[in-house]
Amino acid sequence: MKKLKFGVVGCGGQGGGWARYLAKDEQVELVALCDINPGHLNAVKKATGCQFTTQDFDEFLDQKMDAVVNATPHYLHAPYSIKAMENEFHVFVEKPMAITLHQCDEMIRTAKQNDVKLQVGHQRRLDSGSIKIKKAIDSGKIGDIYHMNLSARWYRSEMYF
């Protein structure tokens, strides 16, 4: 089977984690990394062995890839994802999808127009607690759900937003 060729843009935090994960997958070839921070690039290059790194997003998009992981700051999710999809790359974008509903709609429209996949990351859906709750709901053990409220007390610095 042919390996999927991935690139990761935004190599700090989540993006660095995605790059490390993808580099270990036998069905994937990590072919390109992009970040404006040379420290992030060098650290992830060293950890993954990925040979191509750049601080220039256009140069990143010139690489032979099937898909792009977009783990940039939130305000870049829409413009970078749209540009990648216009270049006919499938895109996995970290949450939030974008910062406005208009941007989300444009991302969806671009994916359809270019016949590529767009996926938004919601990694908690595979968390063991989330899976147990889903099974309890599906089995009817807790009855009909009419309302749900969640408080997540994860620390997020101002930079996150």
Q: Is 161's pLDDT higher than 60?
A: no
Confidence of residue 13 (pLDDT cuts 50, 70, 90): confident
Rounded Cα gap, residues 1 and 28, in angstroms:
10
Distances (CA, A) of 70 to 79, 133, 135: 10, 29, 31
Cβ neighbours of 5 (radius 10 Å): 16
> What span, in angstroms and rounded, lies between the C-alpha atoms of 84 and 97?
14
pTM above 0.85, yes or no: no
Residue 160's pLDDT is 60
Bridge partners of 28?
4
Closest by CA to 33, choosing from 44, 22, 17, is: 44
Which pLDDT tens digit goes with each residue over 16-67?
Answer: 999 999 999 999 999 999 999 999 999 999 999 999 999 999 999 999 999 9
The whole-number pLDDT of residue 159 equals 62
pLDDT single digits (tens) 117-154: 999 997 676 778 888 888 998 998 888 888 877 776 66
Tokens of 121: 């990351």
Asked if residue 98 lies in contact with residue 104, where contact means CB atoms within 8 angstroms, the answer is: yes
Strands 4-9 and 67-70, by their bridges, are parallel
Over residues 72-78, the mean pLDDT reads 96
Q: Torsion over CA of 116, 117, 121 and 125, rounded to 10 degrees?
A: 180
Average pLDDT, the chain: 92
